Structure 1
Amino acid sequence: MQARAKTIQIFLPSGDPQGIRQAEITTRIVRLIEVPRALLKDFLAMPESAGGAVYFLFGDAEESAKPKVYIGQTTDLKKRLVKHHKERDFWQRAVVMLSRAESLTTTHSLYLERLCIKGAKEADRFVVENDTNGNKLNTTKPMEAECEELFETGETLMSTLGFQLFERPAKPVDGAHVYFCTASGTEARAQYTAEGMAVLKGSKARGQVTDSFKDKGFHVLRKQLEAEGILKPAGGQLVFTQDYLFKSPSAAAAIVVGNNMNGWLSWKNQEGKTLDAVVRQVAA
């Protein structure tokens, strides 16, 4: 189905764009509220915290290159968030999905929770902390259709708030331009996408890093990719075992070469033209 234009309303209760934010498509009943953990007390004083909801806890996963999320549902949001505040350390922001019409039943919430866990695992952008895929329910086809429409709205609002929980990363496209990085003996191939630089499976990265690289943030990411098996040792180099999307050409080049690099100049096409010449200079 072709995507349709949408009007989304963002409301800042305190006027602070870094504070609590509410997002909704005004013609639909789903509302998402993003809550920084430091402002949890303020949210708990809001009437929206009193009922039921599907909720998401976002934070960093120390053992992974990906961020972490926990997805749950409850009939008493205030009580559940207070419990998670006391017992779960990792999260820094919560997002709650609720009905403006207060029409979500427990069955709705349970089915939505299952859809959200499934969607997050399929997108594979976050480490999903849930041990299970949610509860299996005997639901009617009309209710499933209703929940899937609610999920679609929630998916759009989640991305609008900056959480690409359900969006599958842009995949390399057959026939698209391929760029190469061969600095320091590397043999890496990548495609430039709307989301960043996708280094292709089988690319060979430098086995060692420079001393100056060891105190950089990208070095931590490189070690995490090794720990997860995305980069595996082979013949003195590290080989990508799968396609991997980096947020920028420079991030991709830095991981491949093991040194700080200007990716716009490091990645070149078959004719030897830099990514900068092919993409940025043409668009300027």
Structure 2
Amino acid sequence: MQGTDRTVMMHFPNSQQASSLKIIQEPTSQIRAFYFKKSLLAQVEELEYANNYAIYFLFSDLENPSVYIGQSTQGIKRLRDHLREKDFWQYGILFVTDNNSFDKLAIDFLEHQFIQLFKRSSFIVENRDLRNTKPTINWFAHATMNTFTNQITFLLEALGVSIQEEEKENDRKLFPAEGEREASLYIHDGQFYLTKGSILHRPQERLKNWNDQGKLYHKLNARIDQLIDVKQAEIIDEGTVRLLQDVVCSSPSAAADLCSGTSKNGWTFWKGLEEEGKNFGRLNY
């Protein structure tokens, strides 16, 4: 699958140590990454924003690479403990935001997310706690967290750390939408994903008069607007948008509501999912 062009800015705080200490950031993003060799940890502490809320990765570059994923409310300062307690790593990558927009919930979610991603990669994960329980975040925060995850994944890739799984689109079991709708859904790791290219419909006007005082109407509009804002969807016309990437949904019904513009039973809206749902105990109905 062909990717899209992206640009990064790279800064070298000390040009004589360019391969050992560098800062990388996309021009339009608040997320910046500090790459540093273990011996230069003290120098990173002096850099702007390095002590903001952070998620970080400590890597070995031995024959069998390993990684430790952690979070910090004090940025790079938290890593002092790892100099004493952990000796496996040779270099680290720290991610913060310029405006310190990461909060405790964000770094908790990102720590969990990347532990799960690295568990499926060629890296050995050094964490004792593998964070098998996903942190609870509200419905509207999912798009933001997914954007953070995608941006950090890209910057890791730009720094030579690949955690991308092999492309398995051909192996996915897709569940097409009812009727002639241009949308499909698949299940991965127990989560429901709307596929890239799926067409979403603005909520029908009649939803404003429902007994919920229009809550579903406003909820669907807000979700679609959010997807557009974070560039996960593009506007086709006044009533429809198209997904630019796969998007996770809280349930098959939440996905069906977005694609239909009204309330739907997702287990019957997606062809073939009713039978598949028996394997999931009809969760998130």
- Number of residue pairs aligned between Structure 1 and Structure 2: 168
Q: Indicate which of 131, 152, 168 corresponds to 2:165.
A: 168
Identity across aligned pairs (percent)? 27
CA 1:105–1:159 in structure 2 vs 1: closer, same or farther (change >3 Å)? Answer: same
CA contact (8 A) 2:71 2:107 kept: yes
Q: Please state how far the C-alpha of 1:125 moved relative to its aligned partner.
A: 1.6
CA separation in 2, counterparts of 1:26 and 1:120?
26
Picking from 81, 99, 102, the partner of 2:100 is 102
Alignment-derived partner of residue 54 in structure 2 = 53
Root-mean-square deviation (CA, aligned residues, Å) is 2.3
CA contact (8 A) 1:58 1:93 kept: yes
Shift of 1:110: 0.5
Determine the structure 2 residue equivalent to 1:23: 24
Q: Distance in 1 between matches of 2:152 and 2:76?
A: 20
Could you tell me which amino acid in structure 1 is paired with residue 165 of structure 2?
Answer: R
What are structure 1's unaligned runs of at least 5 residues? 175-284
Alignment-derived partner of residue 81 in structure 2: 83
Q: CA deviation at 1:70?
A: 0.1
Check whether the contact 1:60–1:90 (CA below 8 A) recurs between aligned residues: no
Q: What TM-score comes out, normalization by structure 1 length?
A: 0.55
Letter in 2 for 1:12: F
Q: Secondary structure at the match of 1:110?
A: helix
Amino acid at match of 1:72: G
Q: Which moved more, 1:130-139 or 1:3-12?
A: 130-139
For structure 2, the residue ranges without an aligned partner over 5 or more in a row are 172-285
Given the two structures, how large is their TM-score scaled by the length of structure 2? 0.55
Structure 2 Cα separation of the partners of residues 169 and 125 of structure 1: 11
Pairing 1:7–2:7 present:
yes
Contact 1:70 1:130 in 2 (8 A): yes
CA deviations on 1:9-46 (whole Å, 9 max, x unpaired) are 11111123212111111111211110111111111122
Equivalent position of 1:136 in the other structure: 134
Q: Please list the CA deviations of residues 92-113 of structure 1 after superposition, one character each: whole Å capped at 9, or x if unmatched.
A: 1010011122100100010011
3-state SS in 1 of match to 2:102: coil
- Post-superposition Cα deviations, 1:50-103, rounded to whole Å, max 9, x if no partner, equal 221000000156xxx520100010101233110101111011101001112210
Contact 1:54-1:96 within 8 A present in 2 as well:
yes
Runs of 4+ in 1 over 3 A off after TM superposition: none
1:126 matched to 2:123:
yes
Residues 227-281 of structure 1 show CA distances to partners (whole Å, capped at 9, x for unaligned) of: xxxxxxxxxxxxxxxxxxxxxxxxxxxxxxxxxxxxxxxxxxxxxxxxxxxxxxx
In 2, are the aligned partners of 1:12 and 1:20 still within 8 Å (CA)? yes
Mapped to 1, the partners of 2:77 and 2:104 lie a distance apart of: 16
Superimposed CA distance per residue, residues 208-230 of structure 1 (whole angstroms, 9 cap, x where no aligned partner): xxxxxxxxxxxxxxxxxxxxxxx
Aligned to 1:156, which of 141, 154, 157?
154
Q: Quote the offset at 1:47 in angstroms.
A: 3.0
Letter in 2 for 1:42: Q
User: C-alpha distance in 2, partners of 1:26/1:60?
Assistant: 29
Conserved? CA contact 2:52–2:75, under 8 Å: yes
Query: Does the CA contact (< 8 Å) of 2:52 and 2:97 recur in 1?
Result: no
Cα distance in 2, alignment partners of residues 59 and 37 from structure 1: 10
What pairs with 1:1-284 in structure 2 (closer than 5 Å)?
Answer: 3-15=3-15, 16-60=17-61, 65-122=63-120, 124-134=121-131, 136-164=134-162, 166-168=163-165
Q: How far did 1:2 drift?
A: 6.3
2:50, 2:96 within 8 Å by CA — same for their partners in 1? no
One-letter identity of the residue aligned with 2:13: P
Q: Which amino acid aligns with 1:162?
A: G
